[in-house]
Homo-oligomer: A and B are copies of this chain.
Amino acid sequence: MSSPTVSSNGYPFTSVQQTSFKVYSPVRGGTERSLPSAAPPRLPFSRITEDDLAFFRQLLPGRAITDPDMLESCNVDWLKSVRGNSEVLLRPRTTEEVSQILKYCNERNLAVSPQGGNTGLVGGSVPVFDEIVLSTALMNQVLAFDSVSGILTCQAGCVLETLSQYLEERDFIMPLDLGAKGSCHIGGNVATNAGGLRLLRYGSLRGTVLGLEVVLADGRVLNCLATLRKDNTGYDLKQLFIGSEGTLGVITAVSILCPRKPKAVNVAFLGCSSFQNLLETFQCCRGMLGEILSAFEFLDASCMGLLEKHLKITNPITECPFYIVIETAGSNAVHDEEKLHNFLEKVMASSLVTDGTVATEDVKIKALWSLRERVTEALTHDGFTYKYDISLPVEKIYQLVTDMREHLGDRAKNVVGYGHVGDGNLHLNITSPTKDPALLAAIEPYVYEWTSGVRGSVSAEHGLGLKKRNYIYYSKPPEAVALMGNIKAMLDPRGILNPYKTLPDNLNLH
């Protein structure tokens, strides 16, 4: 019936299918393995029948969608890089409905692709073949908010920005923020263990998510929706579902610890003449801004060039090889400004920073942040983009960009680096006038081997999804991957939940 196709403008996940590659694990003793290089075959799930549709229509009146136009947007990912061929979109409103759907699909051997805001970057949120799309879009209710503890409980389909607005009115903020906030769902954020711009300050979702409600593959509802900061009664099951990309269960509700809204926010946009100076600025910043530092982001001159060229954004400072966005957030405006002033004085005096500008008003803060946040958008105008989300020891994060640039020579149009210095997270992007298999072959597996060689992670925050599933061995030892397969088999023995995602093909269940 259906087979995976790739849009002409998309990320070449077909290349994963066409390229033969080997996995080297230098840090674990140099074992070498061959992995399946072909497209994942469609597993022998049932095909959807009229009887199935009748069941779904009765369960979800008006919310079992088969209209092709309406299916289009849920079959294609945000990057327009992966296309599935699902024939039905289900829009439950309640946990009970999700439970009924999964119980039915499990019994009928129908595969399911859970979907939040469909903003993922690794093809994890769209069907590969004809999987049923289970959308959380109508599960968008705030269930409770406790203004003493700052604990929010809500359904999985709440949009991150909507939650942020809800909280800001109550003098709190969400502990995470990311570019896709206008579309992404909190359930999807949790399912992919999203990082984003506030991780440096408020930590990962593994610490801030206090409870989850999850529907398992067979329809059982696992209610771990605790609202306690501490609970050591047995194993912490919710951690299994954080970052499992919908392959172990469908998250239906989330409780999360939200910080108070800071009374003062400042943003500085600075320029550095070398990456070494940028790193020394970071060290100095951590010492002098300490507890009020809430973000330390960077972009290189190539990113700035793309912003200027494609988005007509003006560089607010003099041209530099590297730019930094520093944000402070604190409880006392006077203290924060003084700390920031002292810090800036020091890094300017020592020439670590060559130019800079500071914003305290909301409009200017947003303008400075947009320099960092709109790099992704600028890249989409530069041609076909090969995207990598790499976690590295912080002192190595730009070396990969330099090495890649040298390695590719003039085969690439642009090789740019930006990302979260504070988290050791590099976004490496390589553009080309058109899709270019030869260029891809020069990038991969080079980028993964380089990363593995310094014990980095081939996916810092985007997850593995469909596109990166077979690269897991670059960052995880075989014993760990095998254990992941055991967990999958335990929780979803028929493999109906988000098949072809996260786990490598050699572990595919059915």
- On A, residues with C-beta under 8 Å from B are 28, 146, 148-149, 192-193, 195, 199, 203-204, 206-207, 220-224, 226-237, 239-240, 242-244, 248, 260, 262-263, 279, 283, 286-292, 329-332, 335, 338-339, 391-395, 420, 423-425, 455-464, 468, 471-472, 474-477, 479-481, 483-484, 486-487, 490, 502-503
Contact = CB atoms under 8 A, between A and B. Distances in A.
A146 B393 contact: yes
Contacts of A195: 230, 232
A481 B233 CA distance: 10
Q: Output the residue of A230, A279, A460 with the most chain B CB within 10 A.
A: A230
Given A222-B480, A222-B483, A286-B260, A233 B393 contact: no
B480 A232 contact: no
Contact of A483 (B192, B237, B339): B237
Contacts of A288: 331
A65 to B, nearest CB: 30
A232 B484 contact: no
A5 B490 CA distance: 38
A266 to B, nearest CB: 14
Given A223-B479, A237-B483, A480-B222, A462 B232 contact: yes
A425 to B, nearest CB: 5
Nearest to A294: B291
A240 B239 contact: yes
B199 A28 contact: no
29 contacts: A195-B232, A199-B229, A206-B239, A221-B479, A222-B479, A224-B477, A224-B480, A228-B457, A228-B460, A229-B424, A229-B425, A230-B457, A232-B457, A232-B461, A232-B463, A233-B457, A233-B471, A234-B476, A234-B481, A235-B487, A239-B239, A260-B286, A260-B287, A263-B290, A291-B329, A291-B330, A332-B339, A335-B339, A486-B490
> Lowest 4 CB-CB distances: which A-B pairs, in order?
A290-B331, A207-B207, A239-B239, A231-B457
A152 to B, nearest CB: 14
Count copies of this chain in the complex: 2
A390 to B, nearest CB: 10
Nearest to A286: B260
Contacts of A287: 260, 331
Contacts of A193: 232, 236
Contact of A290 (B235, B260, B490): B260
Contact of A207 (B206, B279, B286, B339): B206
Contacts of A292: 291, 331
A482 to B, nearest CB: 9
Nearest to A482: B220
A463 B224 CA distance: 17
A216 B479 CA distance: 11
A407 to B, nearest CB: 23
Nearest to A233: B475
Contacts of A471: 233
A423 B230 contact: yes
A402 to B, nearest CB: 19
Contact of A234 (B223, B338, B462, B464): B464
A97 to B, nearest CB: 18
B457 A223 contact: no
A424 B203 contact: no
Contacts of A233: 457-459, 464, 468, 471-472, 474-476
